[in-house]
Amino acid sequence: MLELAIGIILGCCALGAGVAMIAGVGPGIGEGNAVGKACEAIARQPESKSSVTSTLLMGCAVAETTGLYALVIAILLIFVAPNLLVNILTSTIGG
C-alpha cells in the first residue's frame, strides 16, 4: 500500500512539472508578437526607434519572468517535492 502511495506522489509531481512547463509557451508567443509589432512600429516611424526599443525590452523582460517562474516551479516539483512528500507520508503512516 505504501509503494502505491509513493508511486502516486511521484507521478503527480511529474505531471505537475509538465503542466508547469506548458507555461513556457506563453512568453515565447508573447515576445514574438511584441517583437513583430515593434518592427512594424519602427518601420512606420523610424524616428521613434529609441522609445519603441526601450518599451519592447521592458515588456520582454516582464514576459520572460513568467517562463522563469514556471521553470523554478517545475524544478522544485521534480527534485524537492517528492522527497518531502514521501517523508511526510512515511512519518504519518509509520512505514
Q: At what angle do helices 49-79 and 2-22 cross, to 10 degrees?
A: 170
The rounded distance, in Å, linking the Cα atoms of 86 and 95 is 11
Cα first-last separation, the chain: 10
**Backbone angles phi and psi of 80, in degrees to 5:** -105, -50
Phi, psi (degrees; rounded to nearest 5) at 45: -135, 85
Output the pTM of the full model: 0.73
Q: Are 74 and 24 in contact (CB under 8 A)?
A: no
User: 17-64 pLDDT, tens per residue?
Assistant: 999 888 888 888 888 898 999 999 999 999 999 999 999 999 888 888
Helix or strand or coil: residue 5? helix
pLDDT in tens, 32-44: 898 999 999 999 9
